Amino acid sequence: MTIRVKRAFKYRFHPTDAQAAELSRTFGCVRKVYNLALAARTEAWVLRQERVNYNATSAMLTVWKKTEELAYLNDVSSVPLQQALRHLQTAFTNFFAKRAKYPRFKTRKKSRKSAEYTTSAFRFRDGKLTLAKMAEPLDIVWSRPLPEAATPSTATVSQDAAGRWYVSLLCEDPGVRPLPATDALVGVDAGLDHLLTLSTGEKITNPRHERRDRARLAKAQREHARKAKGSANREKARRRVARIHACIADRRRDNLHKLTTRLVRENQTIVIEDLTVRNLLKNGRLARAISDAAWSEFRGMLEYKAAWYGREVIVVDRWFPSSKLCSVCGSLQDKMPLNVRTWTCDSCGTTHDRDVNAANNLLAAGLAVSACGAGVRPQRSSPGGQSAMKQEALRREL
């Protein structure tokens, strides 16, 4: 059975002044419609205990366009406005399913600037993309080709905080198919001193992308703080700060893509630990380094690529004491100070590298999960002990 995978291919483009103005108006209208619909749905529930769905908000949009106050909504394509209502419906669906928090209002400064066009609102011919309400095609930088004979189903235009314009084309990719099966298995222990430690003994260095540009970023932030609020110079300084952040994020994302692709291609089964990054970020001393490591982004990439290529990702319970458990005899150490990098088992006398031992234990626990179909939650030395991953994060140096 062939599984059809839809992928988003993201490209940078350089709009003309007219196109940039049209897209900026569209972003504002999308934000306005989203906020109006959210306010209407919230008011209906608070006052009348009534649930308003997408069809009702779509009818409201028709009425809003006829009013004098919101007549400007007719100046942009209606498709991105309808898509904003669909996105709001998805947000409420996730909220009622307890997968997300209650939807929040979009703001001009903090919310992502984007607009989604479906096939009825754009034309894609001969490698040229023309959006509704625009006479000329977008000047796209084709950094990589689309799949052969690909027909985009949606085109999402966005602008990041650094002022860069992007278009994301969603289309089927026939090149994504399960890889040949292999017997290779690997346990992966995430950390800060080393970004990843594999059960094979390999340690992958943490690039520390944010630290490399920390001085440059601090200087740009100081210059931004000195500018008068509301001035053009302050906006220029803000852009400089945003460009540094964007550069850091691009390097980090590129590195994670390379690592996850390699792990998925080389291994049939990958075992990782369930990390509570939200709780770990409460540690003020390590929050910056944990954010820079991007463990959640690593896991997300690993899981969707494994699903694409027919691999398996096993997640071991966060309470599993991977560092204190001897991978040879299985004995559990009573104490493991945070500064201990190597230790010797009291029972069998084996000397362990802390991270490699943890990766080996994760691999063994993952195989037990795969065989038994149950979660891994072995007995801990103390009921009030912290999670193994939290202990790992606290003991690593910045």
Active site residues: 189, 273, 355
The answer to whether 171 and 6 are in contact (CB under 8 A) is yes
The torsion angles phi and psi of 155, rounded to 5 degrees, stand at -130, 115
**Nearest-angstrom CA–CA distance, 77 and 27:** 11
- Residue whose token pair is 């440059």: 216
**Nearest-angstrom CA–CA distance, 41 and 63:** 15
Q: What tokens appear for 307 in the block?
A: 């699903």
Residue type, 161: A
**Nearest-angstrom CA–CA distance, 398 and 396:** 7
Q: What tokens appear for 345 in the block?
A: 């088992």
Kind and range of the H or E run holding 248: helix 232-266
Q: What tokens appear for 1 in the block?
A: 């059975």
DSSP notation for 343-360: EE-TTT--EEEHHHHHHH
Residues ≥6 apart with Cβ < 8 Å to 263:
186, 188, 270, 302
SS3 70: coil
- Residue whose token pair is 């550069």: 247
Residue type, 58: S
Q: What tokens appear for 132 in the block?
A: 């509704």
**Nearest-angstrom CA–CA distance, 31 and 83:** 11
Kind and range of the H or E run holding 128: strand 128-131
- Residue whose token pair is 């939200």: 278
**Nearest-angstrom CA–CA distance, 257 and 110:** 26
Residues ≥6 apart with Cβ < 8 Å to 4:
172, 174
- Residue whose token pair is 């003994």: 201
